[in-house]
């Protein structure tokens, strides 16, 4: 323990949680982990995470490992319901002065409610919404959109700096999730539009490699087009892992739409994407007649994500080139 940078608790060691744990472990942190799925916890333990038998044990072990600092427990579970269960239990069992860091995407109002309840017990809640998938978590290259009090956020900063390379403290608790929702709307809707654009192109005999070539050249350029092929792979991975490949994006968009509604913002197009995307994604995977996929995409040597045709010769995305570290 002497050479440890400190202890961090992680509730939820699935795809993202285990990636974050791995990056912290490599940087010299001690990690205590908990998961409702014993198999996932076993795999994390094999990678060096100290397993806890319950959320209470997780809170206690994290506090015991943090004698000189505010104990930090990160929540990286799947969905609002699990987040709610974990946050309530951790709020009840974590010692006064602890900070709960919520990475799980949820509505800003949910964070505000959790933070209110936690404050009564002297526990802080910081929302640190993640931009970038587990690939970027493994590289310590997440974008973190952070909400919370200045003190609590400062206490977590060394952890954030280890797992992220773009950190934005945007306001009080909830601001990080609001930013994440905005990010989701921008990213997911642009992917949905790209799926329709690919169908239009296929109907006129254009291969997807040709389409990414012309799109990334001009006004229509987007990160999704530059990393075309990534979402296909991610869905295949998720289908194998838990079978939930088609509803996640819509859930994220619906969260954004309801967050808009409670503040009188109508988002009819986002709502339409949420409604139509599952069938569009299924068609992508199950109806080959609608698509003209190109060659299997190699990955970027920097970010690890698929390279669309125009960037294969260089081996990196243009936006990754100046970040080779």
Partner 1 sequence: MSDTVGVVGLGNMGGAIARSLLRGGIPILAWDTSSAALAALVSDGAVAADSLADLGRRCQVIMIVVVTDEQVRQVADELLTVAAAGSCLVVQSTVRPTTVIELAGLAAGNGIGVVDAGCGGGAELAEQGRLTLFIGGDDDQVKRCLPVFEAISEYRFHVGPPGAGEAAKLVNNLMSIATYAVNLEAMQLGAVYGLTEDTITTFVTPRSSGNSRGLRTWGRHDRARRERRAASVDWSERMGKDLHEAAIAAGLRGVTLPLTAAAAQMLPMKLRQRDREVDDRGPFRPGPRCSVCDYELAAPFRAAGLHPECAA
Positions 226 through 285 that interact with partner 1 (CB under 8 A): 227, 256, 259-260, 263-265, 267-270, 272-273, 276
Instruction: Based on the shown chain and the rule CB under 8 A, indicate whether residue 211 belongs to the binding site for partner 1.
Output: yes
Nearest by Cα to 177 from 146, 153, 133, 152:
146
Cα angle 319-324-325, degrees, rounded to a multiple of 5: 140
Selected binder of partner 1 within 43, 210, 233, 299 (CB under 8 A): 210
CB-nearer residue toward partner 1: 239 or 265: 265
The residue with tokens 């994006």 is: 249
Distance of closest approach, residue 314 Cβ to partner 1, in angstroms: 11
Tell me 147's DSSP state: E
- Beta carbons of 113 and 135 less than 8 angstroms apart: no
Selected binder of partner 1 within 82, 119, 149, 190 (CB under 8 A): 190
CB-nearer residue toward partner 1: 92 or 193: 193
- Tell which positions 130-189 bind partner 1, by CB under 8 A: 131-132, 136, 141, 143, 145, 166, 168, 170-171, 174-175, 178-179, 181-189
Selected binder of partner 1 within 95, 193, 278, 293 (CB under 8 A): 193
HEC states along 226-292? HCCCHHHHHHHHHHHHCCCCCCHHHHHHHHHHHHHHCCCCCCHHHHHHHHHHHHHHHHHHHCHHHCC
| Bridge partner residues of 72 (DSSP) | 8, 99
CB-nearer residue toward partner 1: 40 or 234: 234
Selected binder of partner 1 within 42, 207, 232, 285 (CB under 8 A): 207
Stretch that binds partner 1, among 5-13, 71-79, 153-161, 198-206 (CB under 8 A): 198-206
Whole-number Å distance between alpha carbons of 171 and 176: 7
**Do the bridges between strand 142-147 and strand 164-171 make them parallel or antiparallel, or are there none, so unpaired?**
parallel
Distance of closest approach, residue 75 Cβ to partner 1, in angstroms: 21
Distance of closest approach, residue 43 Cβ to partner 1, in angstroms: 27
3-state secondary structure of 99: strand
Nearest by Cα to 130 from 89, 94, 77:
77
Which residues have CB under 8 Å from 38's CB, separation 6+?
none
Distance of closest approach, residue 109 Cβ to partner 1, in angstroms: 10
Stretch that binds partner 1, among 31-39, 118-126, 128-136, 150-158 (CB under 8 A): 128-136
Q: Copy the structure tokens of residue 3.
A: 């050479």
CB-nearer residue toward partner 1: 48 or 187: 187
- Binding to partner 1 by CB under 8 A, coded x per residue (else -) over 71-110, reads -------------------------------------x--
Calculate the alpha carbon distances from 73 to 11, 117, 209, 237, 321 in Å: 7, 16, 44, 28, 34
Cα angle 36-37-38, degrees, rounded to a multiple of 5: 105
Distance of closest approach, residue 53 Cβ to partner 1, in angstroms: 37
- Beta carbons of 38 and 102 less than 8 angstroms apart: no
- Tell which positions 302-321 bind partner 1, by CB under 8 A: 303, 317-320
Instruction: Based on the shown chain and the rule CB under 8 A, indicate whether residue 194 belongs to the binding site for partner 1.
Output: yes
Distance of closest approach, residue 44 Cβ to partner 1, in angstroms: 26
Selected binder of partner 1 within 27, 36, 47, 214 (CB under 8 A): 214
Instruction: Based on the shown chain and the rule CB under 8 A, indicate whether residue 215 belongs to the binding site for partner 1.
Output: yes
Selected binder of partner 1 within 44, 94, 201, 297 (CB under 8 A): 201
């Amino acid at each position: 323990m002497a050479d440890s940078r400190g202890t961090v608790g992680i509730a939820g060691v699935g795809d993202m949680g285990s990636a974050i744990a791995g990056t912290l472990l490599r940087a010299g942190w001690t990690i205590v982990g908990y998961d409702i799925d014993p198999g996932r916890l076993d795999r994390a333990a094999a990678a060096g995470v100290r397993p806890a038998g319950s959320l209470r044990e997780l809170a206690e072990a994290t506090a015991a490992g943090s004698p000189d600092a505010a104990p930090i427990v990160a929540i990286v579970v799947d969905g609002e319901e699990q987040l709610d269960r974990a946050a309530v239990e951790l709020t009840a069992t974590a010692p006064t002065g602890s900070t709960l860091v919520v990475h799980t995407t949820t509505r800003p109002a949910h964070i505000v409610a959790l933070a209110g309840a936690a404050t009564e017990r002297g526990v802080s809640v910081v929302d640190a919404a993640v931009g970038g998938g587990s690939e970027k978590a493994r590289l310590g290259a997440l974008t973190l959109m952070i909400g919370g009090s200045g003190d609590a956020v400062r206490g977590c900063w060394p952890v954030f700096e280890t797992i992220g390379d773009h950190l934005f403290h945007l306001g009080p608790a909830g601001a990080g999730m609001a930013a994440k929702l905005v990010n989701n709307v921008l990213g997911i809707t642009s992917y949905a539009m790209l799926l329709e654009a690919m169908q239009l192109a296929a109907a006129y005999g254009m291969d997807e490699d040709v389409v990414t070539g012309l799109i990334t050249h001009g006004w229509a350029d987007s990160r999704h087009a530059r990393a075309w092929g990534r979402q296909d792979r991610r869905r295949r991975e998720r289908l194998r892992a838990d079978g939930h490949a088609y509803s996640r994006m819509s859930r994220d968009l619906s969260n954004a739409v309801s967050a808009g509604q409670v503040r009188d913002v109508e988002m009819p197009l986002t709502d339409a994407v949420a409604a139509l995307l599952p069938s569009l994604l299924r068609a992508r995977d199950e109806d080959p007649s609608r698509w003209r996929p190109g060659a299997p995409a190699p990955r970027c040597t920097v970010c690890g994500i698929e390279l669309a045709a125009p960037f294969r010769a260089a081996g990196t995305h243009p936006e990754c080139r100046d970040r080779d570290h």
